[in-house]
Structure 1
Amino acid sequence: MTTSPSLEDVLEDVLPDIADRAGAIDRSDADPIDDLRVLAHRLDLFDPSATSVATAVRVIESVARASLTVGFVAWAQRMAAEYLALAPASPRTATRLADVVAVRRRGVTAMAAGQRQAVGLEKAPVTATPDGAGGYRLSGTVAWASNVAADSVVVLAANLPGGGTRVLAVDAADLTVRAAPDLLGLNATASGSLLIDDVAVPADAVVSTDLQAFAATVRPRFLLLQTAFCSGVTGAALDAAIPQLAGTGAVYAGDHEDLAARYDDLRDRLHGYAADSTPGTVAVRDLIALRLESTTLATASTRLGLALDGGRGYATASATNRRFREASFLPVQSPSEAQLRWELARAEAVAR
């Protein structure tokens, strides 16, 4: 009688390959889509019906220890699948979901503007005008999206001219993609902006007719999975720093000890919250605080690694430098550090 390999066994098998490819991916000499296909085949990572949020958090955290770029696009792929899994049943949606789950197509979570609108900030700059036949004509812009390719499925929010909202799934092939300029890190995440010019969208492309309710449903898992890749790169940086805490590096021992204690607390909360990821189980305020703390820890830990590694860490080919550059994106990753601080302050004011 044979038994299926455990999650730990599969991760032990696939993570060394991701780590070995991390440098090439950082240089854009390799495509993380290949790693996503392995994660889909070996772990069903992108199937919300097969792999729980708690397990997805563990996997993405582990992957991000090896390569934040791969952890980041894994989060994007999983979230696109989460969105499509909530859409009304239709043959088109079923095909799109199956393709994203199996990574036959890339999944794009272009929901940053929609989530900002849902929390009370500015409206998403995309308009969906009813076409009189149940579908819509879509126009506007998405300032930033990742995992974008010609075959991508893009999930985004739009506003109706007369009021009301829609969450829609569209094909990237129908949009104009402007690739991002060279970035400090994460260049292999296939990021850029999307221009939408009077694109026809059929009725069965509607994922939700209520942005507010949809955002409330997906946001806990969205924040948890983002925290997972922040946690992964933090753990990698702190582990890599340990051998450097001797000689002159001993002056950083207290800083490392403080960051490690905060990291252990963060991971306890992350995995505890992930086990209770049903909306309403964990206060959104706690999830926002967790995500904010994960960003702070990732940037501080990778910065410490750079200080300890000295001249070697200044070389862009080093893992220390790669982690530092990749983590520097996290404060501006939506929801940005500024938005998270704004939301947390508002939540705390309401709680008083």
Structure 2
Amino acid sequence: MTQALPQDLAGWLAAEAEGIDSGDVPAALILPRLADAGLVRIGVPGDLGGQGGTVMDAVQAVAAVARESLAAAFMLWGHRCFVEFMVQTPNNALRDRLLPDLLAGRVAGASGLSNVMKFLAGLEPLQMTARPEGEDLVIDGMLPWVTNLRGQGFFVAAAADPADGGPAMIVALAHDDPGVRRSADLSLMAMRSSDTAAVRIDGARIGRDRIIAANAPEWLPGVRPVFIALQCGMAIGLARRSLAEAGAAGGAGRAVLAAPVAALQARLDQVTASLDAGLGSGAFVSRPAALFELRIALSDIVFEAVALELQAGGGRCYLQGPGQGFARRWREAAFIPVITPSTVQLRTILAAASKAA
């Protein structure tokens, strides 16, 4: 149950993966290539301009990109999340206005909903507010870490707490809205060409036609499975690549690793199948804990996979030339558990639920 990338895209990602990781490849080149290959349209209904298919098909697309470059997969995750927000918004006019450019990769979509995901779990307060002024909303706040903030143009989804009371809402902010300021790219230790930055919002005035969802607590459980499942795709792809590298390594004594590699591959396949089943049945909407457990399991599998790759490759993994790809995957693996919601946050939520039961 894997998905192959178009040969030209796979070749380009393989050739440029190190430059994407280090920031030497302009981030502006990546999203258009992903969109031109049709990856953004996977799992989007045909009547909305997509290719059809399921959410799991979109997860497999993220996994296929992550085999070559986790930074590129991270960008695809953020963009595809925003596309999903447009698919599921009740605001048809906003969807019709934004979706064509998003699907074509002409403008980037960014998910700034990490804060509200933690808010729903009781882990932190909302960091943005919305106050009404006439027919408009004035937004203030901060998004400290958002990916796919393309300099050539982006929309970012953000949750805001209404100053006049009522449930939190989800709004779409544009890169050129007065009061919206993108920081310089964050100084990440890797994955530098991912257009990852902070966004400061000071008195940004938007029309109510930019509301993605007027009641975030009611709307978000329906999009949360896609949000987290696409993150799982990043882990699946990285683990698959490391296991493939471990299985392909030769040399004396490497045969002893065949059984652990096969066993971990079987675990990965089982978790991936469980993810597919839960998405297909809709179970994760009402039982998000099951999805959280899969995300945690995949994070653990990634670390075991890169450790097996290291053991199989031996000392060559520690040489700058031969070990370059492994070193990048080792750094990429370190990012998997800190993606919001992090595995620590997910474990905290599960532990609290267990105590409450």
Q: Report the TM-score when normalising by structure 2.
A: 0.87
Alignment partners' CA distance in 2, 1:265 and 1:188: 32
Alignment partners' CA distance in 2, 1:146 and 1:342: 25
**Is 1:275 matched up with 2:280?**
yes
Query: What RMSD, in angstroms, separates the aligned Cα atoms of the two structures?
Result: 2.4
State the number of aligned residues: 343
Q: Quote the residue 1:220 is aligned against.
A: 225
Deviation at 1:13, TM superposition (A): 5.4
Q: Quote the residue 1:115 is aligned against.
A: 117
Question: Residue 16 of structure 1: SS of its match in structure 2?
Answer: helix
Q: Quote the residue 1:143 is aligned against.
A: 144
Structural mapping, 1:126-141, within 5 Å: 126-133=128-135, 135-141=136-142
More off after superposition, 172-181 vs 86-95: 86-95
Q: Deviations over 1:177-197 (max 9, x none)?
A: 223443222111111211111
Which among 281, 296, 299 is matched to residue 292 of structure 1?
296
Structure 1 gaps, min length 5: 1-6
Which among 167, 176, 179 is matched to residue 173 of structure 1?
176
Q: Quote the residue 2:197 is aligned against.
A: 192
More off after superposition, 247-256 vs 192-201: 247-256
Structural mapping, 1:77-92, within 5 Å: 77-89=79-91, 91-92=93-94
Distance 1:346 1:100, change over 3 A: same
Alignment partners' CA distance in 2, 1:99 and 1:186: 25
Q: Quote the residue 1:4 is aligned against.
A: none
Q: Quote the residue 1:106 is aligned against.
A: 108
Distance 1:173 1:86, change over 3 A: same
Which among 342, 347, 356 is matched to residue 341 of structure 1?
347
Q: Quote the residue 1:241 is aligned against.
A: 246
Distance 1:256 1:186, change over 3 A: same
Alignment partners' CA distance in 1, 2:4 and 2:295: 28
Distance 1:86 1:141, change over 3 A: same
Alignment partners' CA distance in 2, 1:11 and 1:81: 21
Question: Residue 268 of structure 1: SS of its match in structure 2?
Answer: helix
Alignment partners' CA distance in 1, 2:169 and 2:272: 35
Q: Quote the residue 2:69 is aligned against.
A: 67
Alignment partners' CA distance in 2, 1:337 and 1:125: 21
Q: Deviations over 1:157-216 (max 9, x none)?
A: 010123321100001233222234432221111112111111111110101111111210
More off after superposition, 113-122 vs 103-112: 113-122
Distance 1:83 1:14, change over 3 A: same
Alignment partners' CA distance in 2, 1:309 and 1:180: 34
Letter in 2 for 1:53: V
Alignment partners' CA distance in 2, 1:9 and 1:232: 11
Letter in 2 for 1:107: G
Distance 1:292 1:106, change over 3 A: same
Structural mapping, 1:295-314, within 5 Å: 295-314=299-318
- Aligned partners of 1:306 and 1:324 also within 8 Å: no
Q: Deviations over 1:73-112 (max 9, x none)?
A: 1111100111122334455542222211111011110000
- Aligned partners of 1:220 and 1:278 also within 8 Å: no
Deviation at 1:220, TM superposition (A): 0.8
Q: Deviations over 1:130-160 (max 9, x none)?
A: 1122x21111111210011231100010101
- Aligned partners of 2:5 and 2:65 also within 8 Å: no
- Aligned partners of 1:306 and 1:320 also within 8 Å: yes
Q: Report the TM-score when normalising by structure 1.
A: 0.88
Distance 1:27 1:229, change over 3 A: same
More off after superposition, 259-268 vs 310-319: 310-319
- Aligned partners of 1:53 and 1:277 also within 8 Å: no
Distance 1:23 1:187, change over 3 A: same
- Aligned partners of 2:232 and 2:295 also within 8 Å: yes
Structure 2 gaps, min length 5: none
Deviation at 1:284, TM superposition (A): 1.4
Alignment partners' CA distance in 1, 2:268 and 2:148: 28
Alignment partners' CA distance in 1, 2:282 and 2:315: 43
Distance 1:32 1:242, change over 3 A: farther
